[in-house]
Structure 1
Amino acid sequence: MKPGTGRITGMGGIVMHRRTLLAAAAGAVVAPAFAGSPAAAAPAGPDGFATVPGYGLATTTGGAGGPAVTVTTAAAFIEAIARPGPLIVQVSGTIALPRGSSDGMYPVSSDTTIIGLGSTAALTGGGLNIGLPVDDDLTTPPSNAVHNVIIRNLRMSGASDDLINVQMFSHHIWIDHNDFSDGDDGAVDIKRGSDLVTVSWNRFHDHDKTLLLGHDDDNGAQDAGRLRTTYHHNYFDGSDQRHPRVRFAPLVHVYNNYFRDNSYGIASTNDAGLFVEGNYFFSVNNPGRVDFSGPLGRMVQRDNILVDCNHAIEVRGSVTDPRTLYAYTADPASAVPTIVPAGAGVGKV
């Protein structure tokens, strides 16, 4: 670490297991096996970038302090999440969202918590839109940007667009302990100037383009300097790509995630800065890339484990250490294949 800068550079911290090389030589795939560790208790509140003050908010609280309403039908759910908050929307059972005139994407109001009850709460056939309508001419955060939203303990599948889309300068968002699968586009996309987001303890499976962070290569006017996001303790369970795929963000913290059987893990482009630590990559072709589509990104890494991966994590440049912005405790990477599958997803909150 350079004194006084909070920055880390170089290759340090990567661990390549000896059995990885032996398995590769034998043409075999060896699944990770570890002595059991207890699943971490579900946090009572957010951590990471969702807790960093900004835009007039001290942290993310969702609908705390407001009434709670339990919904069991699509009509009741759609009406509730659009109400002015603070409000806690409790989802009971499976709700099939109609495609309607919005391609099945439904807006969520500020100061809202959406939480599933038990382990069977589910949204199918549609997705959640956290953000104002798209306006390419708007390049600074408006005073009415959607903010302070929590989504927890939901199964979401089968959307004809995104499962969750965060856009247009939305901020202070916490997406935690959900199960995402089988969407036509992104599972959780964060773009168009959104900022101060944490995505934690989710399971992603049976999905292609999982996590997009940053709209496109021409959207720097909205995205540059924003999109600060923490991804931790997520289980990328055979999902294919974008875990996440990042543009422009000055700092994205990716730690203690379990990557299993993916075509690629993380991609950094357009000078985005990714700090990648304590993750476990098993059977991932390209764990981390900076030489990807578009201008080069930046990536530093420490204490990651790669098993049966075809390439090393690509590193480039320097990235601010997240510990200069918020406190956190990373688990040992060797414990991730036990801790994360046991603790991620629904029924743990």
Structure 2
Amino acid sequence: MRRTKASILLTLTAAAGLTLAGSVVDGASAVPMARQVALAGPSDLVGWATQGGGTSGGAGGGTTTVSSSSALSSALSASGTQVIRVSGTITCSGMLKVTSNKSVLGNSGATLVGCGLNVANASNVIIRNLTFRNWNDDAINVQYSTRVWIGNNTLSNGYDGAIDIKRASDYVTVSWNRIFSHDKTMLLGHDDGNGGEDRGRLRVTYHHNWFDGTNQRHPRVRFGNPVHVFNNFYGGVRSYGVASTVGAGVLVECNYFENTPDPYHLGEGSSGPGTLVARNNHKVNSGAGQTGGSVASIPYGYTCDTPSQVKSIVTGGAGAGRVGV
């Protein structure tokens, strides 16, 4: 019988001689996420990237370490299963294509300056522990791709999107990232007219991300339903937090909003409203938010941290360099 993550963590806890209080989610007992950080590391995979067969990246393949733009581009575009370890600061430009069955993992201090990663027509990709600065397109773009996990990265001062997901992509988890000094943070679904490709897809989980004084799109959602936004920390978000627009259904729960006048709303710009359900969010000097309609049920197991503790949990664990890879 396949064991759940919660049961494994409880076993680890018992072996260590510890006693942890459980919590109840969808009727099942589980270990609080805050405790999972201590036992399993803050980037332990949950959410939509566990579906559709799961996301293992380059596990089982060879490992190569790169420290130049040319070596990185070559490794990312190669066929086959591979772990690519990024070392040092690499200055580059444009978007570097990432092919299927890759783990792109930053060694301590690994930084990409001036460029981004393009996960296009790919499946089973992991991107973790990298710092992105001053990209001239997107930092991470996902399109026509499935089973992608983007975790524990730090992103700042880019041109366009920090993490954009679009064009029929599906089964994606975006977790434990920190974004600061940036405007357009996370777009999900690029165009109101792309429902033919996107409807029934664009299912993404955003959890334990730190939106640190950023401006908009945390995320801005089209068509995906259900999109799950939980246990994120919104600190001083200026324009708006979450926007659910045309065809989307977004569950916003157990987040911490601080100094964020517009935490979530329906519709954005010329895009009409989607649906949005909000529950158990903690707000400090923040607006009430706008909700409406219903959202499809979440098919995977997960655990909400206590909302009032989310700020300390996320600021203590989000971003590059916070987990060994």
Q: Which range, TM-score by smaller chain?
A: 0.7 to 0.9
> Quick one: which of 265, 268, 279 aligns to 1:302?
279
Quote the Cα distance in structure 2 between the aligned partners of 1:292 and 1:114: 33
1:224 aligns with 2:219: no
Give 1:295's aligned amino acid.
Answer: G
Contact 1:147 / 1:173 at 8 angstroms: preserved in 2?
yes
Structure 2-normalised TM-score? 0.86
Report Cα offsets for 1:244-264 as digits up to 9, x if no partner. 000111210000000011121
Runs of 4+ in structure 1 off by over 4 angstroms are none
Identity among equivalent positions (%) equals: 49
- In structure 2, the residue matched to 1:187 is 162
Structure-1 residue corresponding to 2:8: none
Aligned to 1:68: 63
Cα distance in 2 between the residues matched to 1:241 and 1:45? 27
The residue aligned with 1:239 is 214
Deviations 1:260-302 (A, max 9, x none): 1112100000020000100000011210011433111100011
Paired letter, 1:287: P
1:52-201 matches, within 5 Å, as 52-53=51-52, 58-97=53-92, 99=93, 104-118=94-108, 120-131=109-120, 145-167=121-143, 169-201=144-176
SS at match of 2:37: coil
Query: Which protein, 1 or 2, shows the higher relative CO under an 8 Å CA cutoff with sep ≥ 6?
Result: 1
The one of 289, 297, 301 aligned to 2:265: 289
TM-score by length of 1: 0.80
Show structure 2 runs of 5+ residues with no match.
1-33
User: Could you tell me whether the CA contact under 8 Å between 1:72 and 1:95 is conserved in 2?
Assistant: yes
Measured after TM superposition, the shift of residue 43 of structure 1 is 4.9
Offset of residue 39 of structure 1: 8.9
CA distance in 2, matches of 1:278, 1:346: 23
Q: Please say if 1:314 is aligned against 2:290.
A: yes
Contact 2:42/2:176 (<8 A) preserved:
no
Equivalent residue number for residue 347 of structure 1: 321
The 8 Å contact of residues 298 and 315 in structure 1, kept in 2 or not, is answered as yes
| Partner AA of 2:113 in structure 1 | T
Give the letter aligned to residue 196 of structure 1: Y
- Number of residue equivalences: 286
- Write the mapping of 1:201-220 to structure 2, written as runs, cut at 5 A: 201-220=176-195
Q: C-alpha distance in 2, partners of 1:147/1:342? A: 30
Cα displacement (A) at 1:220: 0.9
The whole-number CA distance in structure 1 between the counterparts of 2:54 and 2:302 is 15
Three-state SS of the structure 2 residue aligned to 1:63 is coil
Unaligned runs of 5+ in 1: 1-36, 132-144
Q: Does the aligned pair in 2 maintain the 1:130–1:165 contact within 8 Å? A: yes
The structural deviation recorded for 1:221 is: 1.2
Tell me the SS of whatever aligns to 1:318.
Answer: coil
CA contact (8 A) 1:39 1:342 kept: no
2:225 corresponds in structure 1 to 250
Check conservation: 1:209, 1:240, Cα contact below 8 A: yes
Shift of 1:47: 1.4
Greater CA drift, 313-322 or 156-165: 313-322
Report the alpha carbon displacement of residue 189 of structure 1 after superposing the two structures with TM. 0.3
Change (3 A) 1:44 1:127: closer
Provide the C-alpha distance between the structure 2 equivalents of 1:225 and 1:73, rounded to a whole number of angstroms.
39
SS at match of 2:290: coil
**Alpha-carbon displacement from aligned partner over 1:299-326 (angstroms, at most 9, x marks no partner):** 00110011111x312111111231xx10
| C-alpha distance in 1 between matches for 2:312 and 2:35 | 8
Q: 2: distance between equivalents of 1:45 and 1:150?
A: 12
Q: 1-side partners of 2:45 and 2:285: how far apart? A: 33
Q: CA deviation at 1:190?
A: 0.2
Instruction: Quote the Cα distance in structure 1 between the aligned partners of 2:234 and 2:146.
Output: 27
Contact kept? 2:42, 2:317, Cα under 8 Å: no
